[in-house]
Structure 1
Amino acid sequence: MKEGPDIARIAALIGDPARANILTALMSGKALTASELAAEAGVGLPTASSHLRKLEDSGLIRLRKSGRHRYFTLSGEEVAQVLEALMGLAAGRGHLRSRTGPKDDALRRARVCYNHLAGEMGVQIYEVMRARGQIAGPADDLLLTASGRDFVAGLGIDLDSLPRSRAPLCRECLDWSARQSHLAGRLGRALLAQFIATGWARRDATGRAVRFTPAGEAAFARAFARPPAETAAAAAG
């Protein structure tokens, strides 16, 4: 008998198409009901309930109760990281869904990756802060520099007030649509929350898209303007 983590069991749970749809829907970071997840999975409620029990028993999702209502969420950021990595792998190998249309464009532009901003705008945040030297270090050990602390403070983020958790302050996350990194961690979560709180953006009511207002687009462009190539190269070096 082989020893070590049983990745085959987790892979089998995620690999079922209905369960994969359920997990993808929960990447929005929202708590959803069994009925809502059944619709996302394209199955009946009894079948969805069976899938949800398996996912809950495996520790991939958790049940949250509010009065008589029952909601499901991903069990934590670690699960979201695995799912986003699998999305990147699938996209990189050409395994894409056949759905097309404006909504796909919106998701590529800006979307929620569990609790932080992904898509082209999320990638831009990471690239610009890297180029300016506001975040530094290897991908698996990112640090927010002194200039980075000043920058996010200027955006209205009080780092000392961020919720304490095991999640790092800054973390790289592979973006499945752009195939480049975007910024996750507690700072990534705080930036998305601040964009919404200041009215720069709002979350799509039914999906993962994040839609910036014209004023929010302009403010974002000013805050995260890409530096000239020679400046970026100097900062990276």
Structure 2
Amino acid sequence: MGKRFIDISSLPKAWRKLEPTLKLTWFYLWNNCDASGVWEIDMDLFEFENGFVFDFEALKEELPDELEKSGDLILLNQYIAINYVTLKDNYNPHKPVFRAILKNNLKLKPSLNQGYFKLEDEDEDEKEEEYEKGGVREKTEINKNFLKMTCEYFSQVGEEREMKVWSFLKSLKNQNKLQEFQKQTKAYILYKTKSEETTHGWLSYQAEWENTNWHHKLSKLGSSLKEMNNEVKEKVKQYD
């Protein structure tokens, strides 16, 4: 476990009158949560290590704005803000935090630098939400199926490698290039599969994908995509 900060002054006045067991519960959660401030409930372990029963309802009643519960997960609302101040996408010490945010299905409030549990309807809204900029409509979130396809095709399997691919796709989204990258990458996979040419490694493709119009090259192999072998098309369609 790495070093972590705690700021009692940020807690409400109700903290002063908390029962000792509730104060110990708070400290335990803070010291045993993951990088995003989430603790997975383990009643038996908690009781074994503390000598009393875990009581979330009592703690929530006294500190209603400080923690949230979703299923078997408890989120400490101020943990990210106190420990990391401002999160940065490409800053290596912060990458474990982003991985934990993804794992726990959290959403970040940039203005407060706090995480919160996403609701099911928010997931649906993110898939549908689009914005228009410069005449180009772009999805606001990274398509998970496209991310999976890219990672598997370029052998970027494993949590650390997948996180790097995700960060690259997010940077393209911020540059309004993600839609074109998805189009070219799908065409690239079809082209390389059909032509049986040597494929790029992920790093070289990442650096050179804009240098070649793979969609145009693919069209030269046949009069239209409809004439492609069904097996080849399924390599891309299975991720849609």
Q: TM-score with structure 2 length normalisation?
A: 0.32
Q: Which has the higher contact order (CA 8 A, sep 6+)?
A: 1
Structure 1 or 2, whichever has the larger Rg, is 2
Which structure's residues are more often helix, by fraction? 2
Q: TM-score with structure 1 length normalisation?
A: 0.33
